[in-house]
Amino acid sequence: MFRIGIGLDSHRIRFKTSLDISKQGGKTLKARLKGEKNLILGGVEVRQDCYFLADSDGDVVLHSLSNALSTAIGGGSLDTWAGPMFKKGIKDSREFLKAILKKVKAKGFRISNVAIMVEGQKPKLEPHRVKMQLSLAKLLQLDKQDIGIAFTTGQDLTPFGKGQGIQAFSTILLNK
């Protein structure tokens, strides 16, 4: 028996602001304002100068994967089962993914393969693809080659293509 799941998630991003602190020899030195979060995708910290506007870590890749897994087994959206976890102070999206993976396994399914498409104008994400694949392979207990990740800029056509956020689509094939 096979099941297919489709998931989507998106969040706005904010770049941490820079402050001019002094000028020396014609050069402006800058100090980054530190935020409490960094940009995390697929369980990997990909940037320290920006973050998702989200109550959790905002990892849209893990959120879309979680939604895909949930819909494949007839479940609801991320908030229906991760919401109570968040209320307990759990903000790490890897924990949300682990929770839905337990439900998938309890129904006797295993993941065959995963396909992920990420849209966002900035920051550039392709340099992080292999790290993301390795992180996801570990989390999902799959081989790296069973996880495809592609990136697109959106070329100013959507809010994501205009650099206002990042969205991720995931498809999952489960089998028994």
Average pLDDT of every residue of the chain:
88
Q: What are the helix and strand counts (H, E) for the chain?
A: 4, 9
Tell me which residue range forms the domain holding 57.
Answer: 2-175
Confidence at residue 36, expressed as pLDDT on a 0 to 100 scale: 59
Confidence at residue 94, expressed as pLDDT on a 0 to 100 scale: 95
Considering the entire predicted model, what is its pTM?
Answer: 0.87
Residue closest to 55 by CA, chosen among 29, 81, 92, 28:
92
Residues flagged as binding site: 9-11, 63, 162
* Cα(97)–Cα(74) distance, integer angstroms: 16
Confidence at residue 14, expressed as pLDDT on a 0 to 100 scale: 85
- What's the domain count of the chain? 1
Confidence at residue 20, expressed as pLDDT on a 0 to 100 scale: 42
Residues flagged as binding site for a divalent metal cation: 9, 11, 63
* Cα(173)–Cα(45) distance, integer angstroms: 26
Tell me if residue 80 falls in helix, strand or coil.
helix
Identify the CATH number of the domain in which residue 15 sits. Answer: 3.30.1330.50
What are 109-162's pLDDT values in tens digits? 999 999 999 999 988 899 999 999 999 999 999 999 999 999 999 888 889 988
What are 53-81's pLDDT values in tens digits? 888 889 999 999 999 999 999 999 988 88
* Cα(173)–Cα(65) distance, integer angstroms: 11
What are 97-106's pLDDT values in tens digits? 999 999 999 9
Distances (CA, A) of 68 to 4, 111, 122: 8, 11, 25
What are 7-40's pLDDT values in tens digits? 999 999 887 765 444 444 555 444 444 445 789 9
Confidence at residue 34, expressed as pLDDT on a 0 to 100 scale: 45
